[in-house]
Amino acid sequence: MTDQTLFEKYGGFSKISRVVLAFYDTMLDSEEIGPFFDEVDMSKMVDHQTKFIASLLGGPASYTDNQLRQLHSHLAIQDSHFDELKVILGGTLEKHGFQPGDVEAVLQEFENRRNLVVG
C-alpha cells in the first residue's frame, strides 16, 4: 500500500480549486499583492494556480523551476510580497480543514520555490 499524497487526502482538484478561489478572494483585497493581478485574466490564473498548489500537495500537475522563474521574471516581486502570499495561503488552507502539520508541509514546499518567484 502506498502513502497517500496531501493532494489525494484533501480531495484532489475539486477541493484544491475551491482553496485557490478562496486564496484569490483574500489576496486580491491586499493592497500590496492585489495590484499584481490588475491586468490578469483571472480564470487562467486560477487554473494555473490550482495546478501549482496541487503540485505542492504532491498532485500530478507541476511546473519546472525554469517555468516558475520565467513566469515571474517580469514582476517586481519582493520578499515581503512572498511572505504575505505565504501567510494568506496558510490561512486559506487552515480555513479549508487542512491539519496544522499538512499546512506546514505545503508552506515549506512553497518556501522552497521562493528564489524562483522573488526577483
pTM listed for this prediction: 0.90
Domain boundaries, the chain: 11-117
In this predicted model, what pLDDT tens digit does every residue of 66-105 receive, in sequence order?
999 998 998 899 999 999 999 999 999 999 999 999 999 9
What per-residue confidence (pLDDT) applies to 119? Answer: 82
Q: Which three cell numbers stand for residue 93?
A: 488552507
Burial of 92 (0-12, 13-18, 19+ CB in 10 A): buried
Measured in degrees and rounded to the nearest 5, phi and psi for residue 31 equal -70, -30
Q: Which of 80, 75, 64, 59 is nearest to 113 (CA)?
A: 64
Domain 11-117 belongs to what topology?
A: Globin-like (1.10.490)
